Structure 1
Amino acid sequence: MVGHSYIVYGPLLHGCTTVLFEGKPVGTPNAGTYWRVISEHGVVALFTAPTAFRAIKGQDPKGEFVPKYDLSKFRTLFLAGERADPETIKWAEQKLNVPVIDHWWQTETGSPMTINPAGLGLLPVKYGSPGVPMPGYDIRVLDDAGHEVPRGTLGNVVVKLPLPAGCLPTLWNADDRFRQAYLEEFPGFYKTADAGMMDEDGYLFVMARTDDIINVAGHRLSTGAMEEVLAAHPDVAECAVVGIADAMKGQVPLGFVVLNAGVTRDSGTIENEVVTLVRERIGPVAAFKTVVTIKRLPKTRSGKILRGTMQKIADKEDWTMPATIDDPVILDEITAALKGRGIGL
């Protein structure tokens, strides 16, 4: 759906030419691939996933490839598809010197639910937020009982019915499944299955999928918030946090980090620093004690990190190879790294 809206319909309605790049942003042949394509074709706006920029930042943390290309026509960077951590957005802003617009929506909605509306006038950026609700979307945050929570409180992100034009009316030949999946849990609302919070200014902060909210000794914690802390470490290029089973606390977080290219410091030292960072910024309640350094994260071809599969490997649960995985060998690397730390044996 994103491809339909952003690659086809939107550009055609606006009279634009679309440049579709298929391939990886690094290693083809280097971390300057995007800048080369932008320069050669006079691209004015780029739409991609945050994971692509994390990969570029990991291979070229100083942004040395950026000034090698003419980006004078480039005006705007749009990020979507997964949560954009503040450090990645700041890096892109600093290196590209253009507005970096994070926005949030789903295949089911057909268009952004929240965004910083460049076409109407940019609002102040709040790092970690994909912007404010767009016309037609009455977004609320509810607790598990369906009651609205105070501003700044983590909960279930929902949209008050009716949905605006362009959203899904049902599922193909599955009306009952549509109602069960999206409408039954919170009557009168569309369930996004995302967890987040709304601040006092009406900015939405989407922290994780509701499945990625972990329960540590009775405390509901966002893995997205922990990933935000991990990403703030200067030696970390990419990261992921999953909740794994624990006999005492129910669940505990397990962190994975990919280090920036050229980092020569001892990985164990970096892991200890990351654990300390989480303890300082989130608190001991997170029970964040284990970080595993890996070469790369398993992702789908569209760039989404396969956190669920990583969790199953760590918990020794049955799992199947995701059909959309970019490189299946990465899961062998994850398994070996975990076994080296006595996890998933």
Structure 2
Amino acid sequence: MSQREATRGQATGGYYDRVYEESLADPGGFWAEAARAIDWITPPTTILDDSTAPFYRWFSDGELNVCYNAVDRHVAGGRSEQVAIHYDSPLTRRKETITYAALLSRVRAAAGGLRGLGVEKGDRVLIYMPMVPEAVITMLACARIGAIHSVVFGGFAPQELAARIDDATPKVIVSASCGIEPSRVVKYKPFLDEAIRRATHKPEHCVILQREQERAELGERDIDWMDWEAGTAAQEGAEPVTMTSTDPLYILYTSGTTGKPKGIYRDCGGYAVALRWSMEYLYDVAAGETMFTASDVGWVVGHSYIVYGPLLTGATTVLYEGKPVGTPDAGAFWRIAAEYNAVAMFTAPTALRAIRKVDPQASLLSNYYLPALRTLYLAGERLDPDTYLWAASTLHVPVIDNWWQTETGWPIACNPKGLELLPIKAGSPTTAVPGFDVQVLDENGEPVGPGTEGAICIKLPMPPGTLPTLWGDDDRYVNSYLSAYPGYYLTGDGGYIDDDGYLFVMGRTDDVLNIAGHRLSTGSLEAAIAGHKAVAECAVIGVRDELKGQIPRALVVLKAGIADTDSARIRAELAERVRAEVGAVATLDRVDIVAALPKTRSGKILRRTMREIADGDNPSVPATIEDPTVLDTLGPVLRRVN
């Protein structure tokens, strides 16, 4: 019996329960059935290979091509003229509609072009591009010929890009002359040139997409994208190659890595099966429907639910080059959802908080008609109850939190709307997804009871689609994820499972506060603060204290229109909310009202970095920070003592 089954009450539903327990009791049978939704060249007969545990392999004797499943089969099945990709860039005022037939034509050409540059099965291609169709086309072209793509978020600093070049050793790099931000043009080519100069490994060629906002000067190894796509090799095209299910599809480096990058590698067959299954049973999106995922292809959400998930399903995806606010206003997401008839929208809680800060009453929503929108999905940062309630009351559709990681590739916990919409509890991503045996363990590795916080772990084997190991480093995979609790994957997050089997993720385990011997999660304090009507978003960190070990400090961003003269009153009210909702031990003596919080480009608040600054240590600032100036501004505030 799973820990979730042992603790569940009457809140969960019958059909979900049966499916979930089947996935754990008979994983081979469960995933063999799910695999029928994929077109196999050689159907698998070995579903789960545990002979090399803890390096589990799914569908190990199956053969397929992921690009064929994402593009060709839909053209062959009658979806040639259906839209595959809506590209929408308010930053450049450009829109483009790409049908499945047109996508196939361009992917074949790009695959042929890569072949013409000597790229073969197993070679790596690094993609360093903005949110443009050519980024998706290159990803699919790599999958078509068996090359392993590694997408690095456009605009990464040269040193971080160099580290990824040395780790992936790409034969070819595909990039662009620039990226576009609301207030500036970011020149990619100088960053790329400097990264190659610093890297030990040198690519043979760089294909550069020239954008009219900033054309780049090309060097000896550089090739203009338009010339390349129109070349002989591209015009000849390339057909899908046969891939073993366990062959790598891509490498994706985790955000916030320092030193040697940690490359998550994803296999072909397991990933295709898991994403196809999740689109139907988790996200409730069918072929012919539109999904709008407001992320970036440089992140796992973009890989899974901008590119592969929708296209494997035969759905339509939206590629949005813009921001939640400022391009041009806080109604941007509502416009996209309305214009393209999205049935599902997927973004990060931090995006909603940004929208709410600028437009607290969601007045801009009245400009758009969203009859198709059925569900809003959120992931990437803990969904606090107050943001959930605002979104639910604003959109009048189910607002579903889902919790997962780059490493897992798809949700660990989610309200499985395609199976059965379970009662929603604010602050919880609901319950474990079929295939994931989620356990909360104490420091001795023993499961804890309902309501007791501990380390959130996943009992091995994990389901298809999750990382089989790290790129080129099995030892690091074991040491980083499997050694703390033998037989379990360590997520690094802490939380608890309640009496109804609902999971509550309270934050990274290194964000747990130890106040006079009492352990408190930052999530519980932040939930109390976020419930105040004046708060747009907040972060709580624990700073060193000689008497109590640590004391909590809150950094709070207020909603638009709140007067500075109200600051003292708001601070007092926040301290009282924390005492009332969390307890007297969580006395909140320090509340700093700030203009913005430092975040990664995927929306994660840099709590550890802020804590290190406040403690006087040398901060570990991840390369994925979106705006370093925010941290510069906060530095004096964080270092200031009471």
TM-score normalised by length of structure 2:
0.52
Determine which of 234, 247, 265 is the counterpart of 2:533: 234
User: What residue in structure 1 maps to residue 634 of structure 2?
Assistant: 334
Match among 618, 622, 627 for residue 322 of structure 1 = 622
Q: Which amino acid aligns with 1:182?
A: Y
> Partner letter of residue 593 of structure 2?
T
- How many angstroms does 1:216 deviate by? 0.9
1:174 aligns with 2:461: no
SS at match of 2:307: helix
| CA distance in structure 2 between the aligned counterparts of 1:307 and 1:274, rounded to whole angstroms | 19
**Alpha-carbon shift at residue 321 of structure 1 (Å):** 4.0
Deviation string 1:89-134 (CA, Å, 9 cap, x unpaired) is: 1111101111111011111112211110111120000111101111
Once the two structures are superposed, residues 184-229 of structure 1 have per-residue CA deviations (whole angstroms, 9 ceiling, x without a partner) of 1111111111100001111100011101111111111100110001
Report the Cα distance in structure 1 between the residues aligned to 2:336 and 2:580, rounded to whole angstroms: 41
- The one-letter amino acid paired with 1:49 is A
SS of structure 2 residue aligned to 1:280: helix
- Give the residue type in structure 2 aligned to 1:139: V
Distance across 2 between alignment mates of 1:195 and 1:23: 33
Q: Extract unaligned runs of 5+ from structure 2.
A: 1-299
**Distance of aligned partners of 1:297 and 1:121 in 2 relative to their CA distance in 1, 3 Å threshold:** same
The Cα shift of 1:271 comes to: 1.0
Give % identity: 56
In the alignment, the residues of structure 1 paired with residue 408 and residue 622 of structure 2 have an alpha-carbon distance, to the nearest angstrom, of 24
Which residue matches 1:133?
A: 432
The amino acid of 1:293's aligned partner reads I
The CA distance in 2 between the partners of 1:107 and 1:301, in whole Å, is 14
Q: 1:48-59 residue pairs with structure 2 within 5 A?
A: 48-59=347-358
Q: Alpha-carbon deviation of 1:337?
A: 3.0
Q: Which residue number corresponds to residue 66 of structure 1?
A: 365
1:27 equivalent among 326, 332, 338: 326
Give matches, 1:169-208, under 5 Å: 169-208=468-507
Paired residue for 2:337, among 38, 45, 66? 38
**Bigger share in helix:** 2
Unaligned runs of 5+ in 1: none
Regions of 4+ moved over 6 Å = none
> Of 165, 169, 192, which residue of structure 1 is paired with 2:464?
165
User: For 2:401 and 2:573, how far apart are their aligned partners in 1?
Assistant: 29
Aligned to 1:133, what secondary structure does the other structure show? coil
The counterpart of 2:547, out of the listed 222, 227, 248, is: 248
CA deviation map 1:247-268 (0-9, x unaligned): 1111111100000001125212
Structure 1 contact 275–289 (Cα < 8 Å) conserved: yes
Q: CA deviation at 1:76?
A: 1.1
Please name the residue that 2:601 is paired with: 301
Alpha-carbon displacement from aligned partner over 1:61-110 (angstroms, at most 9, x marks no partner): 11111111111222211100111001111111101111111011111112
Matched, 1:281 2:581: yes
Q: Matches of 1:12 and 1:27 in 2, distance apart?
A: 29
Contact preservation (8 Å) 1:155, 1:195: yes
The alignment yields a C-alpha RMSD, in angstroms, of: 1.3
Higher relative contact order (CA 8 A, sep 6+): 2
In structure 1, C-alpha distance between the alignment counterparts of 2:439 and 2:496, rounded to whole Å: 9
Counterpart CA distance in 2 for 1:319 and 1:282 is: 29
Residue pair 2:428, 2:502 contacting (<8 A) in 1 also? yes
CA-CA distance at 1:320 after TM superposition:
4.7
Instruction: Provide the rounded CA distance (Å) in 2 between the counterparts of 1:94 and 1:263.
Output: 22
Question: How far did residue 14 of structure 1 move?
Answer: 2.0
Counterpart CA distance in 2 for 1:86 and 1:268 is 24
2:422 is the alignment partner of 1:120: no
1:231 maps to a residue whose letter is A
Q: 1:269 and 2:269 equivalent? A: no
User: Greater CA radius of gyration, 1 or 2?
Assistant: 2
Secondary structure of 1:44's counterpart equals strand
Question: Which whole-Å CA distance do the structure 1 matches of 2:520 and 2:495 have between them?
Answer: 11
* Bigger mean CA offset, 330-339 vs 213-222: 330-339
SS at match of 1:241: strand
Residues in 2 aligned to 1:149 and 1:309: alpha-carbon distance in whole angstroms: 30
